[in-house]
Amino acid sequence: MKRTKINTLLHQGQVNQIVNVKGWVRTFRSNRFIALNDGSTINNLQAVVDFENFDETLLKRINTGACVSVTGTLVESQGKGQSMEVIVETLEIIGDADAEKYPLQPKKHSLEFLREIAHLRVRTNTFSAIYRVRHAMIFAVHNFFNEKGFFNVHTPIITGSDAEGAGEMFRVTTLDLKNTPLTEEEEINFKEDFFEKETNLTVSGQLEGETAALALSEIYTFGPTFRAENSNTTRHLAEFWMVEPEMAFYDLNDNMDLAESFLKYLVNYALEHCKDDLNFLNNRYEEEQKAKPQNERTEMGLVEHLEFVKNNNFERVSYTEAIDILKGSKPNKKKKFKYLIEEWGADLQSEHERFLVEKHFKKPVILYNYPKNIKAFYMRNNEDDKTVAAMDVLFPGIGEIIGGSQREERLEVLKSRIIEMGIEESEMNWYLDTRRFGSAPHSGFGLGFERMIQFITGMGNIRDVIPFPRTPGNAAY
């Protein structure tokens, strides 16, 4: 018989039909009740075995983790917790799982332990829910931009440019590290490398994306990015995914409008299409909050956070206004902030961003017009020559979730900034050509996709929202 997915059976199955289901055993109780899951839904399907009619040797192989195929009659369930169940007529073990060795027994496992077995953790309820939500958000990203007439562009993963100017990049080379060729000046001779120049894994597709936007008007990239930043925190990964739209003829206000509508679309899509998984994750989130000290708990549940973003217009606040608010705030005056705000020009930290969102405005916030000294070279200089047309979107529980700006379209101003930042002008000649020939005002932003998944799922550690996290000292698999 052709297999039917559990999700299809639970929503469209007809009572008294013969069905075939394949999946993995979550539990086997009383030698009679198999809780079966095939990953199509958070919900298990109960398969009821009449143990007197099955070989005892076969029943002993129905362990947690085993893969089985069952064929039987779909009936209304007599028990609590499920609407349908299958009365098993034939049962086949597809793949055994040794009960003594299988690490995912039916008990609570810590997230730290599950990170050590990332190849198996997707079989748990928490991680299967995260994977399904992640898929839904990938689909929603493409849907949003496609509906707006944007074009998806693939920008290079191997690049010779550093879009952020921070220098924290992974080098790509085929040189023999034990016998590295050197120049007469005793420096590495990259002419003998594969690309005949120094190359790295990209930190952003933005600069290449701009070249496409200045021909196609509205584009977006969605791909892996890499930062060799030695940060062992719950917010940082060495490999992560970025969504980066670039739009010709958009000023900073247009950019903020797009960012707000994009985030609301993603949140709304999750609420509409991931209900079962979000209900499970919401319950998990509430249990996690109860275990925290009172002062560290959030005031809202997970689904409430999502509704909060969906139903509130984002507050738009200049960086200067935000600094004044933070300087006069109780946590700053009472020295509760880890990083005290003392003067204009400070680089805001997550604690400041979350204060503005969660305590002061009680809604998502877009900060704009940052000091140019703390921002990248490509951001448009404002008339005051102190600030740039940059913007960050701040979310509850996360802090910054989007960073973007109006790009500097004026050739001479951009050249001055490149020199000011100590970047080799010759390396950026291709980028400057977009300003030499038919330049136009344009804007864009970047969404850290894993930060968005953290927000949607309520997971506290970014390593738990990507299948195989890459962090300092960890590149397993």
DSSP states of 356-405: IIIIIISS-EEEEEEEGGGS-TTBPBPTTSSEEEEEEEEETTTEEEEEEE
- Say yes or no to pLDDT of 343 above 70: yes
Angle at Cα 164 formed by Cα 159 and Cα 169, nearest 5°? 50
Of 7, 42, 37, 111, which is closest to residue 282 (Cα–Cα)?
A: 42
Answer yes or no: do 94 and 127 share one domain. no
Q: Is 89 helix (H, G, I), strand (E, B) or coil?
A: strand
Whether residue 183 is contained in a domain is answered as no
Q: What gap in Å lies between CA 206 and CA 221, rounded to an integer? A: 8
Whether residue 439 is contained in a domain is answered as yes
Report helix, strand and coil shares of the chain as percent, to nearest 5.
Answer: 35, 25, 40
Whether residue 56 is contained in a domain is answered as yes
Q: What gap in Å lies between CA 434 and CA 420, rounded to an integer? A: 20
Q: What is the DSSP letter of 423?
A: -
> Which residue do the tokens 């529980």 mark?
397
Q: What gap in Å lies between CA 403 and CA 451, rounded to an integer? A: 12
Beta carbons of 463 and 129 less than 8 angstroms apart: no
- What's the confidence (pLDDT) of residue 111? 96
Q: Is 77 helix (H, G, I), strand (E, B) or coil?
A: coil
Separation of CA 468 from chain center? 13
- Say yes or no to pLDDT of 165 above 70: no
**Contacting residues for 454 by C-beta, under 8 A, at least 6 apart:** 398, 460, 462, 465
Query: pLDDT per residue over 134-157, tens digit each?
Result: 999 999 999 999 999 999 999 999
Mean pLDDT of 279-300: 89
- Say yes or no to pLDDT of 293 above 60: yes
- What's the confidence (pLDDT) of residue 426? 87
Answer yes or no: do 394 and 336 share one domain. yes
- The boundaries of the domain holding residue 155 are 123-168+203-464
Query: pLDDT per residue over 54-105, tens digit each?
Result: 999 999 999 999 999 999 999 998 877 778 999 999 999 999 999 999 999 8
Angle at Cα 410 formed by Cα 409 and Cα 416, nearest 5°? 115
Answer yes or no: do 281 and 231 share one domain. yes
Answer yes or no: do 303 and 452 share one domain. yes
Separation of CA 285 from chain center? 18
Q: What percent of the chain shows pLDDT beyond 90? A: 88
Query: pLDDT per residue over 362-389, tens digit each?
Result: 999 999 999 999 999 999 999 999 999 9
Q: What gap in Å lies between CA 94 and CA 174, rounded to an integer? A: 44
Answer yes or no: do 68 and 148 share one domain. no
Beta carbons of 247 and 215 less than 8 angstroms apart: no
**Which DSSP string do the residues of 199-262 spell out, in sequence order?**
EEE-S-SHHHHHHHHHHHSEEEEEEEEE------STT--SEEEEEEEEEET--HHHHHHHHHHH
Query: pLDDT per residue over 412-425, tens digit each?
Result: 999 999 999 888 88
Whether residue 245 is contained in a domain is answered as yes
Q: What is the DSSP letter of 166?
A: S
Residues pairing with 152 in the sheet: 220
Angle at Cα 179 formed by Cα 173 and Cα 183, nearest 5°? 80
Of 328, 407, 318, which is closest to residue 371 (Cα–Cα)?
A: 318
| Side-chain half-sphere CA neighbours of 350 within 13 A | 10
Whether residue 1 is contained in a domain is answered as no
Query: pLDDT per residue over 319-330, tens digit each?
Result: 999 999 999 999
Mean pLDDT of 186-193: 95
Number of domains forming the structure of the chain = 2
Beta carbons of 342 and 335 less than 8 angstroms apart: no
- What's the confidence (pLDDT) of residue 167? 60
Q: At 13, which CATH number?
A: 2.40.50.140
Rounded to two decimals, what is the model's pTM?
A: 0.94
Answer yes or no: do 296 and 250 share one domain. yes
Answer yes or no: do 436 and 377 share one domain. yes
Answer yes or no: do 138 and 23 share one domain. no
Whether residue 249 is contained in a domain is answered as yes
**Which DSSP string do the residues of 15-72 spell out, in sequence order?**
TT-EEEEEEEEEEEETTTEEEEE-SSSSS-EEEE--GGGS-HHHHHT--TT-EEEEEE
- What's the confidence (pLDDT) of residue 163? 63
Query: pLDDT per residue over 10-61, tens digit each?
Result: 999 899 999 999 999 999 999 999 999 999 999 999 999 999 999 999 999 9
Mean pLDDT of 311-339: 96
Whether residue 338 is contained in a domain is answered as yes
Whether residue 428 is contained in a domain is answered as yes
Of 471, 44, 81, 108, which is closest to residue 288 (Cα–Cα)?
A: 108
Taken in order 82, 88, 94, 96, the sign of the CA dihedral is positive
Which residue would you say has higher pLDDT here, 222 or 167?
Answer: 222
- What's the confidence (pLDDT) of residue 79? 74
Q: What gap in Å lies between CA 319 and CA 212, rounded to an integer? A: 30
Answer yes or no: do 61 and 134 share one domain. no
**Contacting residues for 279 by C-beta, under 8 A, at least 6 apart:** 303
Q: At 420, which CATH number?
A: 3.30.930.10
Answer yes or no: do 383 and 316 share one domain. yes
Q: What gap in Å lies between CA 189 and CA 196, rounded to an integer? A: 9
Answer yes or no: do 404 and 456 share one domain. yes
Mean pLDDT of 348-375: 94
Of 77, 213, 201, which is closest to residue 470 (Cα–Cα)?
A: 201
The number of beta carbons lying within 10 Å of the beta carbon of residue 141 is: 23
Answer yes or no: do 329 and 299 share one domain. yes
- What's the confidence (pLDDT) of residue 166? 56
Q: Is 449 helix (H, G, I), strand (E, B) or coil?
A: helix
Which of residues 53, 73, 102 is at a domain's end? 102
